[in-house]
A and B are shown apart, each in its own frame.
Chain A
Amino acid sequence: MMRIRVKVFATLGRHIAGGVTGAPFPLEVPDATTIADLVRQLNLPREEVKVAFVNGRTRPLDWPLQPEDEVGIFPPIGGG
């Protein structure tokens, strides 16, 4: 198992019980967990996940996570 930190933003926040949108929370996940595994573990609807960051860089969903990684998950958003 390894420890990571997770942040979930905008409408995805509705799926995290008691979670504050954008507030980081620690999580224990099995070694070699990918972003896609994490999305499943958090019960986030896969079709609503648009962009995921690992330590500030956009990464594909099959990206394997490392201990102490900070993951940010976003639905489709835009503005300007």
Chain B
Amino acid sequence: MWILRLNMNDRTYRLSEVPEAYKNLGGRGTTSTIVHDEVPPLCHPLGPNNKLVFAPGIVTGTAAPTSARVSAGAKSWLTGGIKESNAGSSWASYFANMQIKALIVEGQPMEKGKYWITHLTWDDKAGKPKAEFLPADPYTGKDLYEVFPKVYEQFGTRAAIAGCGVAGEYGYGNSGIAFNDLGKRPSRYSGRGGLGAVMASRRLKFIVLDSKGAPGVPIANQGLFDQGAKKLAEALREHAITKPKGGLNTYGTAVLVNIMNEAGGLPTRNFSSGRFEGAAKIAGEAIFEGVKNRLGKEVYNHACSPGCIIQCSNTWYKTDGTEHTSCVEYESDWALGANCGIDSLDDVAEMVRLCNAYGLDTIETGTALAVAMEAGVIPFGDGKKAIQLVHEMGKGTPMGRILGGGTDFAGRAFGVTRVPTVKRQSMPAYEPRAVKGMGVTYATTTMGADHTAGYTIAPEILSVGGKVDPLSPEGKAALSRGFQATTAFIDSTGHCLFIAFAILDIASGFEGMMEECNGVLGTNWKSEDAAKIGGEILRKERAFNEAAGIGKEEDRIPEFMKYEPLPPHNQVFDVSDKVLDSVYGEL
């Protein structure tokens, strides 16, 4: 396995052996460790000293089910703290198959406005990966849907692509890194935290991979690995949420719209209510039925990346039956729908498409639009005007740049007090006043408000992995801490976090995940080690944030949530600061 460093100053690269201390890391564990070890915490995220790190998970590239994830990490341009954001893509498995443990993008060319492509291939003779640098001029300043087919033309249809859109080029705090899906769309995102701008600031537009001839991931104990992969696959095929034609495969992640609305925890019109009267019109069920009506047949969802059993990615179609966009995820659907008071799936889908085209994070986009709506820039519920504002973001107009700066930045520009951010990153689709454990995760995670960092929704709302009262503040520090630590581990394995629904309920599935990792690495981890290993990762992330000036004073929910009761339960966020501090204090 290799560590590959790209030096963007002079467009050279260097391969080195993986240091002993990094051998058992993967995904988030790898990116967060390298950012912690190598990035000066006080550097400017867009300056020459930040580094962008990519790492496949421990089992990515193997036959382990639902494991084609890649983590991207850096000092975040949005939060100023550490960031890890992972995505599912064939890019991830190719990358792993080339035996690259981590790709570290360093330096910054002096020349402005000129971008590069790095083409990574397998050098059969030398038995190692090889990098080439090519000018990206024809691809800059453009819609990624227009550019991706041309990149495939240049590098061949076997290629896999990672890159940033114009949002990154403009230096937006709201800019992600796009990866190809299996349909060659620029639609899988490491969306959060402004990593697109970190990539663009190194003047790197695309990393194109072709793994032809690559040897694949070395496996220390094949028998153990196979046994683990089988157990996990069985759990995924058995659990009602993850099985074929189960909840996720039928309705996609947007199946959550109705249940969050029912629980009074679906943030609506810039977090001013927990119920949206138009929820049923944008829910996963409405997507499924809408597609059935428009195509005249039932369509189940597809995989975003090779080897996924769950297959949760949907496609929305226009009235004439042609494809509109993929994928309308729950968070996107909510951010651009309920949170903006918009109940038209066609308008939501158009904004999802535009976010993919421009390289924007759908969550941060919807929450920034809602803050602008609150300020009276456009009315709540006006889908057509919202679409125009997303275009302004893509064109880089002054209004577009205010919104592209992120939700917190837009809130400042417009003088809004109801700004739903923690550490300058906007909250996703769960209301902390109605789901207190999720509020604790938002407040304390090293990532800025992030649902994936510790998904307490599972026991609080979905009755998965236990059952707890979402409105009660009791016991939520321990609940969130446990979820955060286990999640940091799952994010390191390369598995999609959605396997959690199955393995939280089915113990043999969890064991299977551990056996897969032991099979690949030759380790001897037990199920209870997952939270321990995850906890180590969290400690490094926390240390980086503290050194970057982000201490426990920033582990707080926005003030308005402490004095504004949220309908329908009319609750405020009542978890004390002491309890919030205990999440990491007692890690």
A14–B497 Cα gap in the complex (Å)?
Answer: 29
Which residue of chain B has the shortest Cβ distance to A72 in the bound complex?
A: B262
Which residues of B are found within 8 Å of A51, using beta-carbon distances?
A: 259, 461-463
| B268 in contact (CB, < 8 A) | no
Which residues of B are found within 8 Å of A10, using beta-carbon distances?
A: 247, 250-251, 255, 258, 284-285
Shortest distance in angstroms between B194's beta carbon and chain A's nearest beta carbon? Answer: 21
Which residue of chain B has the shortest Cβ distance to A55 in the bound complex?
A: B568
Residue in B250, B251, B457 with the greatest tally of chain A CB atoms within 10 Å: B251
Which residue of chain A has the shortest Cβ distance to B275 in the bound complex?
A: A56
| B413 in contact (CB, < 8 A) | no
Task: Out of B251, B283, B457, name the residue touching A80 (CB < 8 Å).
Answer: B457
Shortest distance in angstroms between B178's beta carbon and chain A's nearest beta carbon? Answer: 20
- 1/0 per residue, CB under 8 A from A, across B435-473: the answer is 000000000000000011001011001111001011100
Which residue of chain B has the shortest Cβ distance to A73 in the bound complex?
A: B262
Task: Out of A7, A76, A80, name the residue touching B240 (CB < 8 Å).
Answer: A76
Task: Out of A13, A56, A57, A80, name the residue touching B285 (CB < 8 Å).
Answer: A13
Residue in A48, A51, A80 with the greatest tally of chain B CB atoms within 10 Å: A80
Give residues 503-545 of B contacting A (CB, 8 Å). none
A54–B335 Cα gap in the complex (Å)?
Answer: 26
Give residues 208-262 of B contacting A (CB, 8 Å). 239-242, 246-248, 250-256, 258-259, 262
Given contacts A72-B262, A77-B241, contact A22 B280 (CB under 8 A): yes
A77 touches B256 (CB 8 A): yes
Which residues of B are found within 8 Å of A11, using beta-carbon distances?
A: 247, 250
Given contacts A11-B247, A51-B463, contact A77 B259 (CB under 8 A): yes
B255 touches A77 (CB 8 A): yes
B258 touches A80 (CB 8 A): no
| A63 in contact (CB, < 8 A) | no
A72–B263 Cα gap in the complex (Å)?
Answer: 9
Shortest distance in angstroms between B328's beta carbon and chain A's nearest beta carbon? Answer: 12
A7–B285 Cα gap in the complex (Å)?
Answer: 13
Shortest distance in angstroms between A23's beta carbon and chain B's nearest beta carbon? Answer: 7
Given contacts A13-B285, A58-B263, contact A78 B241 (CB under 8 A): yes
Shortest distance in angstroms between B478's beta carbon and chain A's nearest beta carbon? Answer: 20
B458 touches A78 (CB 8 A): yes
Task: Out of A21, A23, A76, name the residue touching B464 (CB < 8 Å).
Answer: A76
Shortest distance in angstroms between B491's beta carbon and chain A's nearest beta carbon? Answer: 13
Task: Out of B252, B280, B568, name the residue touching A79 (CB < 8 Å).
Answer: B252
A78 touches B285 (CB 8 A): no
Which residues of B are found within 8 Å of A50, using beta-carbon distances?
A: 240, 462-463
Give residues 17-67 of B contacting A (CB, 8 Å). none
A21–B247 Cα gap in the complex (Å)?
Answer: 14
| A75 in contact (CB, < 8 A) | yes
A56 touches B263 (CB 8 A): yes
B256 touches A79 (CB 8 A): yes
A58–B471 Cα gap in the complex (Å)?
Answer: 10
A21–B283 Cα gap in the complex (Å)?
Answer: 10
A56–B259 Cα gap in the complex (Å)?
Answer: 9
Which residue of chain B has the shortest Cβ distance to A9 in the bound complex?
A: B258
Give residues 176-197 of B contacting A (CB, 8 Å). none
| B414 in contact (CB, < 8 A) | no
Which residues of B are found within 8 Å of A56, using beta-carbon distances?
A: 262-264, 568-569
| B106 in contact (CB, < 8 A) | no
Shortest distance in angstroms between B321's beta carbon and chain A's nearest beta carbon? Answer: 23
Which residues of A are found within 8 Å of B239, using beta-carbon distances?
A: 76
| B312 in contact (CB, < 8 A) | yes
- 1/0 per residue, CB under 8 A from B, across A37-74: the answer is 00000000000101101001110000000000000101
A22 touches B258 (CB 8 A): yes
A80–B253 Cα gap in the complex (Å)?
Answer: 6
Which residues of A are found within 8 Å of B331, using beta-carbon distances?
A: 80
User: Can you list 5 A-B pairs with a CB-CB distance of less than 8 A?
Assistant: A10-B247, A21-B280, A77-B259, A78-B256, A80-B457
Q: List chain A positions with a Cβ less than 8 A from chain B.
A: 7, 9-11, 13, 21-23, 48, 50-51, 53, 56-58, 72, 74-80
- Extra contacts, 19 of them, besides A21-B285, A22-B279, A76-B240 (Cβ < 8 A), are A7-B262, A10-B285, A13-B285, A22-B258, A23-B280, A51-B259, A51-B463, A56-B262, A58-B263, A58-B461, A58-B463, A74-B258, A76-B239, A76-B464, A78-B458, A79-B255, A79-B498, A80-B330, A80-B497
